[in-house]
Amino acid sequence: MSLLKKVVPVVAAASGIAGLSLVKITKPSEDVLTVTPSETTKVDVVEVKEEVQEPVVEPPKPQIKEIKERIRDKFSSSKKTLITLSSHDNAWEVRKQQYQSKFQRITTKEDIDRWCNQSLDSEYQEPLYKNVLELCTVPTMRDRFTFKKKKIIDQGKGDPRWVKKVTDYRISNRKMPSGELQTQNGAITTEVIYKWCETGIEEEFKDDSDKRYQLVENWCVA
């Protein structure tokens, strides 16, 4: 940068003329620090290799096939007994009549047995399950009485027909097992007989000549 500086008058030695002298002063430029390396600086470059983890591939999960409940699986908790070809003929007569009434066709016990086994292996459906319970199990005393068109006294312990049963019981030689009767002081009442029959008519039917069947028929049928 250039500056003009005003100076005091001076006498020129040679001319004797006094005047002003303009002196151009140049301001020295600011020092710039320049660093010059004496030698080339070496920079060690270390190559860093990034470890790349390979993705973990899980083995395919085995496909689990849905297991659907069958009629047979449900039936096992019903406490019913399946009717078989070896069951008594009277039991089959009850079921054949019911089967023919429901499906409107004449059939044999072999046909029913085949239908029952196919149905048991079918996928569970409520309507089919009820049909299996009705047609593929050993009939109860109630089923047999209905088949023979006998009237069961099942109107409750207040039914007057129970009163007659109490009277008949006092003079009968065909008694119900005392261990099965819910009595107080051994007294036979309408409620005692009613309670016994409530269970008795739901027992499995075996044969008309079976003593148990005859006993239930004697005290539980009008």
- Residue-level pLDDT at 70: 93
Q: Is residue 132 a contact partner of residue 71, using CB atoms and an 8 Å limit?
A: yes
The overall average pLDDT reported for the chain is 79
Single-letter code of the amino acid located at 132: V
pLDDT tens by residue, 7-50: 444 444 444 444 444 444 445 555 444 445 555 555 555 555 56
The Cα diameter of the chain in Å comes to 183
The more confidently predicted of residues 213 and 68 is 213
* Residue 134: pLDDT over 50: yes
For 92-121, letters b (16+ CB in 10 Å) and e give bebbbebbeeeeeeeeebeebbebbeebbe
**Cα distance between residue 169 and residue 197, in whole Å:** 14
* Cα angle for residues 161, 163, 165 (degrees, 5° grid): 75
pTM metric for this prediction: 0.62
* Residue 3: pLDDT over 50: no
pLDDT tens by residue, 135-179: 999 999 999 999 899 999 977 777 889 999 999 999 998 899 988
pLDDT tens by residue, 55-66: 777 777 776 666
* Residue 80: pLDDT over 60: yes
